[in-house]
Structure 1
Amino acid sequence: MTTNLVTKQIFAMGGGGFSMEPGNPLLDQYILGLCKEKTPKVCFIPTASGDSDKYIVKFYSAFIQLLCKPSHLSLFNPHTSDFRSFLLEQDIIYVGGGNTKNLIALWKEWGLDHLLREVWDNGVILCGLSAGSICWFEQGVTDSIPGNMTVLQCLGFLKGSNCPHYDGEAERRPVYHQLLSQGLIGEGYATDDGVGLHFIGNQLKTIVSSRPQAKAYRLERIDETVKETTLEPIYLGKS
């Protein structure tokens, strides 16, 4: 964990990483590279999946091959009652995908929302994909309720809104545009699968991708009209 001048970092992925791209470690390697430690401690939080055993196994199978010390925190079967000390010991917290509405509800019930803000303030890097991306923003476009894309109020560590899987799920773009044009969601960012937004504090500093054609987008509302600006990421692979 950073002990000197604190740099607050969040890396929000639209989709990708070990669970969606098991043969493409580019985004996960980028995450590890954000830490100054040679062998960072990486804690996986799979709350949004209901702490799926298969998901946890996938995490360990991927990260034991990388230069890090992996662990996980389950809320359904916690290994400790002292979440605060455990999380403060980590260098990186990696949040998995799944049901964002359940994730937010459970985190608030366990007080994890406050603890994660504290560890972020202390220099622990926060990251994740899908639900683990949406959760850090003020609002997100979620499919947590079956059959509906809805607005979800999230933690608000980062300003604005977020929509993952922009190219992977056909309804994402039209729904985000509609919600924004109606003033039901704030301006924000959308990301294709394989794209990550790297924030320092509350400022977007770098956009990277594990897929050569993947993009990020800035969405703004101007007189009830949505302006979508394509943001070109840095491709992390060989061009």
Structure 2
Amino acid sequence: MTRLDGTVLTIGGGGFSMPEVADAGSIDDFLLGLTGRDTPRVCFVGTASGDAASYVERFVAAFDGRARTSVLALFGNGPDGAIPLDRLDDVLEQDVVYVGGGSTANLLAVWRLHGLPELLAEAARRGTVLAGISAGMNCWFEASSTDSFGPYAPLRDGLGLLRGSACPHYRGEPGRRETYLRWVGTGALPDGYAADDGVALLWRGGELVEAVGEARGASAYRVHQGVDGAVETPVPTRLLAG
């Protein structure tokens, strides 16, 4: 696919998906603010979790009263009022498409079968903010670190709306940082960006604008291949007000 023409927020961890993160919810507030609307239309896409009902319920509860919520359930098991499978172009009318965590590989396979990547790229061109956590961070990049196959593994067939590779939960899960550094250092993954839990990266037109955080001490990192392995450079991260 072509590079992203629009706005995307890639979240390493936190938000309503991870209430255990300190001051969880600040990133969600930041996301809603990107729309410029008092009550934005926010669509949750839970494909990576198999449209788990509990995940959908957490989303609806988190955004109740702050947004007009909807759900896109490609497995056909969504709640009443979910976007029907024969009306997927309803995503073009959303202010935010928020992609949940789970299996990046499964998400990509199902989306491609339904033609969703092209619809989401068009939505972004029309002004919809694309966002996602974990697998919902990975999917927009060319490649990523994933546990979709059990052990951590490099995945190189992302949507490619953002250049390079991604690694969520960077210092929050054992082995995430070490394996990502090794893969970038050896060229198994292209250069990219990693984000701790509680950190999000804001992109416009495919270019990084800033990193923001809802957990003190959490950060984002630029990781690129150097002469003797991967080079890790912290990205200044603005702490959001609680």
TM-score, scaled to structure 1? 0.93
SS in 2 for 1:43: strand
Aligned residue runs from structure 1 range 1-239, under 5 A: 8-21=6-19, 24-65=24-65, 67-77=66-76, 79-80=83-84, 81-84=86-89, 86-237=90-241
Return the alpha-carbon distance in structure 2 between the equivalents of residues 217 and 43 of structure 1.
29
- 8 Å CA contact 1:207–1:216 kept in 2: the answer is yes
Return the alpha-carbon distance in structure 2 between the equivalents of residues 148 and 18 of structure 1.
24
How many residue pairs end up in the alignment?
230
Larger deviation, residues 192-201 vs 18-27: 18-27
- 8 Å CA contact 2:43–2:71 kept in 1: the answer is yes
Q: Which sections of structure 2, spanning at least 5 residues, go unmatched?
A: 77-81
Q: CA deviation at 1:223?
A: 2.4
Return the alpha-carbon distance in structure 2 between the equivalents of residues 88 and 151 of structure 1.
28
Return the alpha-carbon distance in structure 2 between the equivalents of residues 173 and 15 of structure 1.
14
Return the alpha-carbon distance in structure 2 between the equivalents of residues 223 and 212 of structure 1.
32
Q: CA deviation at 1:224?
A: 4.7
Return the alpha-carbon distance in structure 2 between the equivalents of residues 232 and 37 of structure 1.
27
Residue-by-residue CA offset, 1:75-99 (whole Å, 9 max, x unaligned): 0116421211x11110000000000
TM-score, scaled to structure 2? 0.91
Q: Which sections of structure 1, spanning at least 5 residues, go unmatched?
A: 1-6
Superposition RMSD in Å: 1.4
SS in 2 for 1:153: coil
Residue-by-residue CA offset, 1:46-78 (whole Å, 9 max, x unaligned): 00000000000010011104x211111000116
Return the alpha-carbon distance in structure 2 between the equivalents of residues 79 and 215 of structure 1.
35
Q: CA deviation at 1:225?
A: 2.0
Return the alpha-carbon distance in structure 1 between the equivalents of residues 36 and 239 of structure 2.
22
Return the alpha-carbon distance in structure 2 between the equivalents of residues 167 and 178 of structure 1.
15
The sequence identity of aligned pairs, in percent, is: 41
Return the alpha-carbon distance in structure 2 between the equivalents of residues 177 and 158 of structure 1.
19
Return the alpha-carbon distance in structure 2 between the equivalents of residues 224 and 47 of structure 1.
39
Return the alpha-carbon distance in structure 2 between the equivalents of residues 174 and 24 of structure 1.
26
Return the alpha-carbon distance in structure 1 between the equivalents of residues 177 and 215 of structure 2.
19
- Which amino acid is 1:83 matched to? L
Runs of 4 or more consecutive aligned structure 1 residues displaced over 6 Å after TM superposition: none
- Which amino acid is 2:168 matched to? P
SS in 2 for 1:184: coil
